[in-house]
Amino acid sequence: MRFLLLLAFLVLSAWAQESPASPPPDLPPEVFAIARELRCPVCQGESAAESNSGVAVEMRRIIAEMLQEGRTKEEIKAFFVDRYGEWILYEPPRRGVTLWVWVLPVFGLVLLGLGLFAYFRPKKPLPPELLEEAERRLKEPPA
């Protein structure tokens, strides 16, 4: 009985969670695709597409206007980088110091793979002379 109550509580809690923000019908999905790649300047851990802050709403409006003007995705992102710096991008550019963010995980995985290979590779068998010598010493009575 307790298990069923706990299960019902968990299921109801999951349903009570807020559903992810879906784009409103007045903005095209391209606006949210670009806004997902930009951070909200005032919210922690939310993109400009997810946030409901005034700044994020304004960013989405600016993106929509720039798309209507015919600007490309890169031009729009460059506009926000000029305004807020590279921090505004969720995906750091692959150059300079941020290149290490892209290279170090791959380098770590390669080192881990080499270490696992070295640990689990089959060991060379001992030469028969050493095995016979070891067996002979084990059979001798202790002095």
Q: What is the pLDDT of residues 90-101, one digit of tens each?
A: 887 888 888 888
Q: Residue range 18-33: average pLDDT? A: 70
Residue 124 DSSP SS3: coil
Alpha-carbon gap, residue 29 to 91, rounded angstroms:
20
CA distance 66 to 81: 15
Task: Say which residue the tokens 């050493």 belong to.
Answer: 130
pLDDT one-digit tens code per residue, 63-82: 999 999 999 999 999 999 99
User: Which residues have a Cβ under 8 Å from the Cβ of 36 and sit 6 or more positions away?
Assistant: 47, 48, 49, 50, 90
Residue with tokens 């720039």: 66
